[in-house]
Amino acid sequence: MSELIAFIGIGNMGLPMAENLMKSGKKIRVFDASKSTIEIAQKKNLDVVENLSDLVTTDVTTVITMLPEGKHSKEVFLGESGIINKVSKDCLLIDCSTIDIQTSKEIGKKATENGIKMIDAPVSGGVMGAQKATLNIMVGGTKEAFDLALPLLKIMGKNIFHAGELGSGNGAKICNNMSLGITMIAASESLMLAKRLNIDIKKVHEIMKNASGNSWPISVYPPLPDLIKGTPSNNNYRPGFSAGMMNKDLKLAYECAKSVSADTPLGKMALEIYEKFCKDGNDDKDFSAISKVIGGDAWDYPIE
């Protein structure tokens, strides 16, 4: 049977991932619940179906999902028209959504009961990483399922990690993004303090990139404009990774921490900061726009 990939969820991240698979020569069909998103995919010459039941058929060899939350993954996989009951036992399921570990394991358990191989494979790297196929992909599942998925994952990402059993991919991603949320706030505080002290921010940024205060938000994804080309801060904070998604991931981290009685005070504080930022109407801005809150009256780059 020839390889056929069904890709569900072609939003900001899913679309470039699906495009990279298509450009590599893979036969791929895509679906999204949003009609406007489907129209964008059609303009990209992707093979689009407008009904989920038409997408997942017995000739599909791999299903890849990139969905917003656990409830969406659960509905797609286990709902009344769930795909686990539609695909053949030879089909590989790859859920690239960042969701709660419990839901990931629940879906995986059902897949295993049906004799179907599945991995959770959330990604990190934002829209730029998806477009350039430089994503970091964290995988949970059996070694056999990981090895089967690896050739496809290498088309979409650069650094592929097998974190452990099913659910471990999401666990690793949640830990990573808790750190990212915290360090983005720290980078914002540091750069905005330099501004209040009337020190050249570009010079402080260059110093931090080469000193012990360096971090991914400093060296790759700074929260202020005019520091690194191509970042959301230079494009009115059009999201590569939205504040709303960061807020969701920090909530996942907080719930995970509670479930194992882990004390994560900085993670909790980061959640509170992002939660308020989103409630104030900024959930569709890039998460680096949190510097707007940190900056206070020192800020002179308005968000439209």
Ordered DSSP codes for 61-117: -EEEE--SSHHHHHHHHHSTT-GGGTS-TT-EEEE-----HHHHHHHHHHHHHTT-E
d(CA 12, CA 24): 20
State yes or no: is 229 an active-site residue: no
H/E element, 124: strand 123-124
Cα–Cα distances in angstroms (integers) from residue 103 to residues 97, 98, 132, 154, in the given order: 11, 11, 30, 25
Q: Which of 38, 41, 31, 3 is nearest to 155 (CA)?
A: 3
Burial bucket for residue 268 (CB in 10 Å: 0-12, 13-18, 19+): middle
Residues 6+ apart with CB under 8 A from 257: 263, 264, 267, 268
Asked if 62 and 92 count as a contact pair (C-beta separation under 8 A), the reply is yes
Asked if 166 and 143 count as a contact pair (C-beta separation under 8 A), the reply is no
H/E element, 253: helix 243-259
The catalytic residue among 43, 109, 117, 173 is 173
d(CA 151, CA 137): 12
Asked if 293 and 192 count as a contact pair (C-beta separation under 8 A), the reply is no
Instruction: Work out the number of other CB atoms within 10 angstroms of the CB of residue 41.
Output: 23
Q: CA torsion angle for 106, 111, 117, 120 (degrees, to 10)?
A: -30
Q: Mind telling me the catalytic residues? A: 173
